[in-house]
Amino acid sequence: MRTSWKWMRVIGWLAMGALLFVGSAGATGQAGFTGSTYASGLLEDDVDVLNRIILPEGVAGSAQANLWLSLQKTRGPSVLFVQTNTWEPGGTTGWHTHPGHSLIIVTQGTITAYDADCTPRTYSAGQVFVDQGGDHVHVLRNESTAEKAATVAVQLVPASERNRRRGDANAPPGCPIL
């Protein structure tokens, strides 16, 4: 009787392992991509910042667009990271998410960003884009065949997520594995 219980436990553990493997099999991995943390620091207090600047008439192209706003609000400790990223020609981050948003500056070459809608958005050196974080599934690629690409990202995440800043994700339905 003891032997049959042992085998049932072994079979149960093998089945759970197989399910975990199958569940992660659709996730896409990074290739030709390297990320490195340049600096990080703990914000122990809540953040509650609102900046408003009234722009002169017509600066932003319309009389209604004369108010610039910037809002950052957190509850609880956060960690701020400065991340440097490099892509070899053809390199990819693989589909992934982050628990917090990132402001990303392209410092070399060109990066193509794909969201769940599979629409390519291209950014060249000197341009900035935002990764929304949360459940925002995306992939960043260097689609050049000859030139490296690089970015610097400033990322704010809850302190509880500091060790899980990136989560691999499956390619969205209808999107190729890029």
Tens-place pLDDT, residues 50-74: 998 887 765 555 556 678 889 999 9
Nearest to 45 by CA among 70, 71, 73: 73
Q: CA–CA separation, 178 vs 159, rounded Å?
A: 31
For the chain, domain boundaries:
31-47+74-165
Res 163: pLDDT: 83
3-state secondary structure of 57: coil
Res 24: pLDDT: 39
Res 113: pLDDT: 96
48 falls in which pLDDT band (50, 70, 90)? very high
3-state secondary structure of 126: coil
Tens-place pLDDT, residues 74-98: 999 999 999 999 999 999 999 998 9
Res 9: pLDDT: 54
- Out of 4-8, 45-49, 143-147, 168-172, pick the least confident: 4-8
- Find out whether 111 and 67 touch, Cβ atoms under 8 Å: no
Residue 143's contacts (CB-CB under 8 Å, 6 or more residues apart) are 90, 110, 112
Q: Does domain 31-47+74-165 have CATH number 2.60.120.10?
A: yes
